[in-house]
Structure 1
Amino acid sequence: MANKIILSADSTCDLGEELKARYNVSYYPFHIILDEKDYQDNVDITVKQIFAAYYDRKALPRTAAINIGEYVDYFKGWVKEGYDVIHLNLGGAISSAHKNCVLAAAELAESGAPGKVYPIDSFNLSTAIALQVIDAGDMIAAGLPAAEIAKRLEQNRGNVHASFLLDTLDFMRAGGRCSTVAAVSANLLSLKPCIEVDNTDGSMHVGKKYRGGLRKVLVSYVKDKLAQYPNIKRDHIFITYSSIEPELEDLVRETIRSTMDFKEIHATHASCTIASHCGPNTLGILFETEG
């Protein structure tokens, strides 16, 4: 906590326990509502339980953002002690969390607390947020003040790239995010759509549609993504998945290694919030490019 700065993020950053500890990151969990019971993401419910509920009894969870009061309660102890808080939110285009966080920060500022909260709209999701958390952690370690860190994070978020390959559209269909016809057609044709995040605003769209089994299309997807940008930063790349067979994770890792050298390749599980929208066997690679 150099410079009296707290580094924090929504639970949807999917950082993983090792990196969370390395960068001293605090989380606040999103809400998962399943069978009308409110759970905290990855606190008292798991991705495995969510998938089991759907396949056992077609029960699909709803997700809910962190509200203003929760953020106020979460931050107030720190700011009263004079800490500044850098908090990275799930993209504002897909969640109200950032808006709520901004309102909570304003409420705390009006209270006269000596510390300040800096809510950052990541314009992204999952470990694309984690990459920004790592950048913030490095800047804290370098001694930069919170206001400068917040400014640089907002300037750099367009250099963070996220995409995921979906094995099935069943969860997207069940959640009303694609039609039954599209889901059935994709399944019949063995199509695996790539969902891409627009890092200029955080919205999502469907990119390339791959045909075939996961072993084949994951290799093609990884190679396509790493070939798409000429100036990829080689410090960190994430393999993030809702669930996947270990041999497929290994295949993706080896495909990355044989294509491009990275200092660290991290593999992490998607949070319940992310996984409940995309279903099992969803996997993405997430990385940064040079500014």
Structure 2
Amino acid sequence: MSQVKIFADSTCDLPHDWIKAHDIGIIPLYVTFGDQNYRDGVDLTTPELYAKVEQTGSLPKTAAPSPSDFIAAFTPFVEEGRDIVYISLSSELSSTYQNALIAGEEFPEGRITVVDSRNLTTGIGLLVMKAVAAAEQGKSAREIAGIVETVKPLVETEFVIDSLEYLYKGGRCSGMQNLMSSLLKIRPVIKVIDGKMTPAYKVRGKREKALEQMVNNTLDKKDEMDNDLIFVTHSMAAEDAEAIKRLLEQKTGAREVALSDAGCVISSHCGAKTIGIIYSKKA
């Protein structure tokens, strides 16, 4: 057993079998419908989320874990003598990182190391898997955090949103933008830049055209890739994600192209049929 326990939060969207196989601790964020709170991936699944949105006609709110949530999760491992490296959702998108720092102050100095991923979904997941590999090699918490800090500016996260409806309902775009996007069949493509979700470009026409553009953008950078791992992450778009996975396997020579399902928090902001490609450039 590694002397360093790796933690992430539910927005890392790693496959469940990977989490179990590598003993990764997961802190769930919260999804709230009315006065009912659900732990992302524990009390509520993505299909159930969309069913509730359909029933209520409104989007849920999302919230960070509290400092006490982190303390409760970290304490058993600290008590058994293990150090912890926690890799958080981008501090630009949530107070999750700040709450983890607050929790860390309740433990002896050096026992809890908190790293801001400056990313979301499997952009975090890539960093977590780098940390896991380092922990399994016996590296210290400080060494692991250093590896993650080196890799995180190299992570490329780009995804196609099928509709602006969820961004509109969540207050992230105007009603006019939503209307014009629907009328003109504009597919927005989002990138994570400086820790924020940033509109990168728009593709007019069929969804397939936007997905093809995203794939081509990825393939244009294949010589710059760290070909260890590429994620294709999706929200209720398994068929298209599988087709993109097969294409990337053929064209990139990556050791592994992995499929990942977006959890409730990510899905509540982006909506169904969102698909992203996430990889790291070479160091």
Name the TM-score class by shorter chain. Answer: over 0.9
In structure 1, give the amino acid aligned to 2:229: H
Within the candidate set 263, 272, 280, 1:271 is matched to 263
Task: Give the secondary structure class of the aligned counterpart of 1:132.
Answer: helix
Distance in 1, Cα, partners of 2:240 & 2:197: 25
1:193 and 2:185 matched: no
Task: Give the secondary structure class of the aligned counterpart of 2:108.
Answer: helix
Residue 233 of structure 2 corresponds to 240
Post-superposition offset of 1:84: 0.2
Distance in 2, Cα, partners of 1:119 & 1:58: 37
Task: Give the secondary structure class of the aligned counterpart of 1:280.
Answer: coil
Post-superposition offset of 1:229: 6.1
Number of equivalent positions: 283
Distance in 1, Cα, partners of 2:108 & 2:116: 19
Distance in 2, Cα, partners of 1:143 & 1:215: 44
Post-superposition offset of 1:186: 0.8
Matches within 5 A, 1:111-190: 116-190=111-185
8 A Cα contact 2:159 2:214, kept in partner: no
Distance in 2, Cα, partners of 1:204 & 1:216: 21
Distance in 2, Cα, partners of 1:250 & 1:150: 32
8 A Cα contact 2:222 2:252, kept in partner: no
Residue 217 of structure 1 corresponds to 210
Post-superposition offset of 1:189: 1.0
Residue 231 of structure 1 corresponds to 224
Residue 199 of structure 2 corresponds to 206
1:23 and 2:16 matched: no
8 A Cα contact 1:223 1:259, kept in partner: no
Task: Give the secondary structure class of the aligned counterpart of 1:222.
Answer: helix
Post-superposition offset of 1:146: 1.1
RMSD: 1.5
Task: Give the secondary structure class of the aligned counterpart of 2:59.
Answer: coil
Stretches of structure 2 lacking an aligned partner (at least 5 in a row): none
Distance in 2, Cα, partners of 1:138 & 1:109: 25
Distance in 2, Cα, partners of 1:95 & 1:226: 31
Task: Give the secondary structure class of the aligned counterpart of 1:42.
Answer: coil
8 A Cα contact 1:173 1:179, kept in partner: yes
Stretches of structure 1 lacking an aligned partner (at least 5 in a row): none
Task: Give the secondary structure class of the aligned counterpart of 1:107.
Answer: coil
1:33 and 2:32 matched: yes
Shift >4 Å, 4+ stretches = none
1:90 and 2:89 matched: yes
In structure 2, give the amino acid aligned to 1:42: G
8 A Cα contact 2:126 2:279, kept in partner: yes
After superposition, give the CA deviation of every residue in 1:207-250 in whole Å (9 maximum; x if it has no partner): 02112222232122111133146410111110101111x43123
